[in-house]
Chain A
Amino acid sequence: MTLDEILPGGLVEIVSVGGEGLLRRRLLEMGLTPKTKVKVRKVAPMGDPIEVYLRSYVLTLRKDDASKIAVKEVCNE
């Protein structure tokens, strides 16, 4: 499963971050590291990008880039 496939409201844990180069490093540096819990909050009006919540802040990224992030579902608390 990858992050772009998660519907708004879904809570997931990051398994690994793919991609390469600067994009990958930027994703990691923004806190999207393995084992981080991420909540998908919203999809932009035109269907892309998505809005996620992690480490007490809100981040937006494109579905293309989100598809490089492998995730697994965790139980909603």
Chain B
Amino acid sequence: MNKKIALIGNQNCGKTTLFNALTGSSQHVGNFPGVTVEQKRGFIKKHKDEFELIDLPGIYSLSPYTSEEIVSIQFLLEEQPDLIINIVDATNIERNLYLTMQLMELNIPIILVLNMMDEVISSGNCIDIDGLKERLGMRVVPISASKNEGIEDVITAIEKTLENPGRHLDLCHGPVHKAIHSISHIVEQKAHILHLPVRYCVTKLIEGDEDMFKTLDVNDNDRHIIEHILEGMEQESGTDREAALVDMRYSFIEEVCYYCVFTECETKEQVRSEKIDSLLTHKYLGIPIFILIMLMIFYLTFYLIGAPLQDLMDNLIGMISQNIIQLLEHYHVAYWLRALIGDGILAGVGSVLSFLPVIVILFFFLSLLEDSGYMARVAFVMDKALRKIGLSGRSFVPMLIGFGCSVPAIMATRTLSSDRDRKMTIVLTPFMSCSAKLPIYGMIIAAFFPHKAAIVMITIYCIGILVAIISALLLKSTIFLGEPVPFVLELPAYRIPTIKNVVLNVWDKAKDFIHKAFTVIFIASIVIWFLQSFNFTFDMIEDSSQSILAAIGSFVAPIFKPLGFSDWRASTALMTGITAKESVVSTLTVLTQAATTTSLNNALATIFTPLSAFTFLVFTVLYMPCIAAFAATKRELGSWWQAISTVLFQTGMAYIVAFVIYQIGSLFL
């Protein structure tokens, strides 16, 4: 029999680590609030095909405040799991138990997992596990997920609880208690019919949730009575209904903690974090340090480690390609097939694959920042600057990831608590020049600006950022009116990222990239090769200027004349760049039939002038992202219309900016 088990907990409490430990599956773990944006499922070890574990997003409460909270509450109500594993950070138990209090209203058996017990104990603090069990009326299991301690106990507790769920205690007291029970009587029957937990319904009604009034179809008379009860409660408790409800939960938690949690001092990790923060979020040093860290990461990624590895990869791929081609010649494979494999697939996929080392290194550093807890500090330090353009510090992280790849960046926007911030960040993130565009810069710079590589590169990145800022100001005062959401964010204790988590994350990204190379880009390479090797009568041609692709490219080309590049090969490359940005490079290489770097440079000189080469770069950095990023945009925005408007906006901005630069540049050059 298949049992559904939901894993739920606050952000930064080690939930994903526990998920990995319980299921043995790989999933990314981070310290930045809300890194778990996708719902993941896996079977619990030793209980394959029997106990299914569902990883819910890291949330602080069940109020429908962020999309993650909405997803979680919907899952719990609609799918009705057989068991909830509620993981809490034992070093921060008070606030973590708030969610537990809400979960207890759902009438689903709960196992409370106290994570980071090692930190509690090593700091000389102590938690009475048996006492907690008794007071909360549920099984309590102490573990340290990062050290893999206590995982077996969790599995045992799951087995036992599924056999014998036990009963929840009635936990409220005082005036709120009275109100809850009075209202329960009114809506009980309706809730039962709808299979909704009564207690949950009642607290929603107390919070004034209009949807719940509608769901339960509360008539005017009952509504009047409920209002009367609540007014009485407010009078008796001396505060409004919302505060009274939260206060009741926290008073209960405080009482539990008073008897069961003995905290003599802050944990060592908390003391250490305060010391680290005295430097990293320092009044004057905080921002320079942040810039320094970013510069260092980019330097390491793109020069010191990345460049030699990329050369190595390049040579390796070249060698393999050559061997394959020789092998094909040896066996007298038909000319067209040899051309397809050699000029089409190997050239196209190879040029993209050589980029793998850089992606791996960048994501290695990004996951270090995320898992260590520094990303939350970035939000703290940068919030004020981003607020000026109508966003919050949280948007900084997706944008930062955008420099690596727009796809995970756009997916990471799901952690933003407001719809408005999320949409705006999705629109702006692709302006952050993603790493897939680097080969394009590399190619153009090598051909036109070999001695000004650094300046051109920095200028291109800055233009992207500048256009994002201008767009933000534009959007803020037109489409996305209104105030950004409140910024209430936990700064988790710094923790040393575990190698396992970092490696798993990097591996995921690498897998994704290789997958992209062998699917989207593989197919694109074949299609492009076909389009550029055949004419409309499907005869294979020698001169690619007679090809189908040339015809399409030539048709579009005049549009780009005001930007300085009207050669059909440039417009064709931009079109294939929509499949994946790296394709711009492979297309230009294939179309110019350049076998060596020198011949490519010479060929490019016939397509661009230095100025139009620069505007081509500007257009490339700004125009619509690749199809994978478009797919992510569509999924996160939830509508085709909005996704298409987004890429039209991006391409429009690209055209305008490139146009202005070319026209002004022409005056001076």
Residues of A bordering B, CB below 8 Å: 16-17, 22-31, 33-34, 36, 41-49, 51, 55-62, 65
CB-based contact B93/A56 at 8 Å:
yes
CB-based contact B281/A42 at 8 Å:
yes
CB closest residue in chain B, given A20: B242
CB-based contact A31/B98 at 8 Å:
yes
Residues of chain B from 257 to 302 with CB closer than 8 A to chain A in the complex: 263, 266, 270, 273-274, 277, 281-284, 286-287
Contacts of B239 in A (CB 8 A): 16, 34
- Give 14 new A-B contacts, CB below 8 A, not counting A30-B95, A46-B385, A65-B488: A23-B485, A26-B60, A28-B246, A29-B60, A31-B98, A34-B247, A45-B282, A45-B284, A45-B287, A47-B384, A49-B487, A56-B91, A58-B490, A60-B383
Alpha-carbon distance A3/B664, docked complex (angstroms): 51
What 0/1 pattern do residues 377 to 419 of B give for CB contact below 8 A with A? Answer: 0011101110100000100000000000000000000000000
Shortest B509–chain A CB gap in Å is 29
Alpha-carbon distance A22/B61, docked complex (angstroms): 12
A25-B246, A61-B487, A65-B486 in contact; A46/B384 too (CB < 8 A)? Answer: yes
CB-based contact A51/B380 at 8 Å:
yes
Q: What 6 A-B pairs have minimum CB-CB distances, sorted nearest first?
A: A46-B384, A45-B286, A28-B246, A55-B94, A23-B486, A58-B491
CB closest residue in chain B, given A49: B383
CB closest residue in chain B, given A27: B488
CB-based contact A60/B486 at 8 Å:
no
Alpha-carbon distance A73/B379, docked complex (angstroms): 29
Shortest B405–chain A CB gap in Å is 28
A22-B63, A31-B94, A55-B92 in contact; A49/B384 too (CB < 8 A)? Answer: yes
A33-B250, A56-B266 in contact; A28/B286 too (CB < 8 A)? Answer: no
A42-B277, A45-B287, A56-B92 in contact; A29/B486 too (CB < 8 A)? Answer: no
Which of B381, B485, B488: most chain A Cβ within 10 A?
B488
CB closest residue in chain A, given B282: A45
Contacts of B95 in A (CB 8 A): 30-31, 55-57
Contacts of A48 in B (CB 8 A): 383-384, 387
Q: List 20 A-B contacts (CB under 8 A).
A: A16-B239, A22-B486, A25-B242, A26-B486, A27-B486, A30-B60, A30-B490, A33-B243, A44-B381, A46-B287, A47-B384, A49-B383, A55-B95, A56-B92, A56-B270, A57-B95, A58-B491, A58-B492, A59-B491, A62-B387
Shortest A37–chain B CB gap in Å is 12
Shortest B558–chain A CB gap in Å is 47
A24-B242, A25-B65, A33-B247 in contact; A60/B282 too (CB < 8 A)? Answer: no
Alpha-carbon distance A49/B60, docked complex (angstroms): 20
Alpha-carbon distance A36/B381, docked complex (angstroms): 26
Contacts of A23 in B (CB 8 A): 485-486, 488
Alpha-carbon distance A45/B378, docked complex (angstroms): 11
CB closest residue in chain B, given A48: B384
Contacts of B491 in A (CB 8 A): 51, 58-60
Q: Is B489 engaged at the interface, CB distance under 8 Å to the other chain?
A: yes
CB closest residue in chain A, given B12: A57
- Size class of the B contact interface (CB-based, 8 Å): 35 or more
Alpha-carbon distance A57/B376, docked complex (angstroms): 14
Contacts of A34 in B (CB 8 A): 239, 243, 247
Shortest A69–chain B CB gap in Å is 11
Contact of B487 among A17, A42, A60 (CB under 8 A): A60
Shortest A13–chain B CB gap in Å is 14
CB-based contact B266/A60 at 8 Å:
no
Residues of chain B from 460 to 511 with CB closer than 8 A to chain A in the complex: 485-493
CB closest residue in chain A, given B385: A46
> Interface SS of chain B: helix, strand, loop or mixed?
helix
CB-based contact A62/B383 at 8 Å:
yes
CB-based contact B281/A51 at 8 Å:
yes
CB closest residue in chain B, given A19: B486
Shortest B488–chain A CB gap in Å is 5
Alpha-carbon distance A57/B207, docked complex (angstroms): 26
Contacts of A36 in B (CB 8 A): 250
Contacts of B287 in A (CB 8 A): 45-46
Shortest B394–chain A CB gap in Å is 11
A31-B98, A34-B239 in contact; A60/B489 too (CB < 8 A)? Answer: yes
What 0/1 pattern do residues 63 to 80 of B give for CB contact below 8 A with A? Answer: 101000000000000000
Alpha-carbon distance A60/B375, docked complex (angstroms): 13
Alpha-carbon distance A17/B240, docked complex (angstroms): 11
A33-B250, A48-B384 in contact; A28/B243 too (CB < 8 A)? Answer: yes
CB-based contact A59/B61 at 8 Å:
no
Alpha-carbon distance A62/B484, docked complex (angstroms): 12
Alpha-carbon distance A57/B485, docked complex (angstroms): 22
Contact of A59 among B281, B284, B381, B489 (CB under 8 A): B489
CB-based contact B281/A45 at 8 Å:
yes
CB closest residue in chain A, given B487: A62
CB closest residue in chain B, given A35: B247
Which of B91, B94, B491, B492: most chain A Cβ within 10 A?
B491
CB closest residue in chain B, given A55: B94
Which of A16, A42, A48: most chain B Cβ within 10 A?
A42
Alpha-carbon distance A51/B283, docked complex (angstroms): 12
Alpha-carbon distance A31/B284, docked complex (angstroms): 30
Shortest A48–chain B CB gap in Å is 5
CB-based contact B246/A33 at 8 Å:
yes
Contact of A62 among B65, B486, B493 (CB under 8 A): B486
CB-based contact A43/B383 at 8 Å:
no
What 0/1 pattern do residues 201 to 224 of B give for CB contact below 8 A with A? Answer: 000000100000000000000000
Alpha-carbon distance A38/B393, docked complex (angstroms): 23
Alpha-carbon distance A35/B171, docked complex (angstroms): 21
Contacts of A24 in B (CB 8 A): 242
Alpha-carbon distance A39/B287, docked complex (angstroms): 24
A46-B385, A51-B281, A65-B487 in contact; A58/B243 too (CB < 8 A)? Answer: no
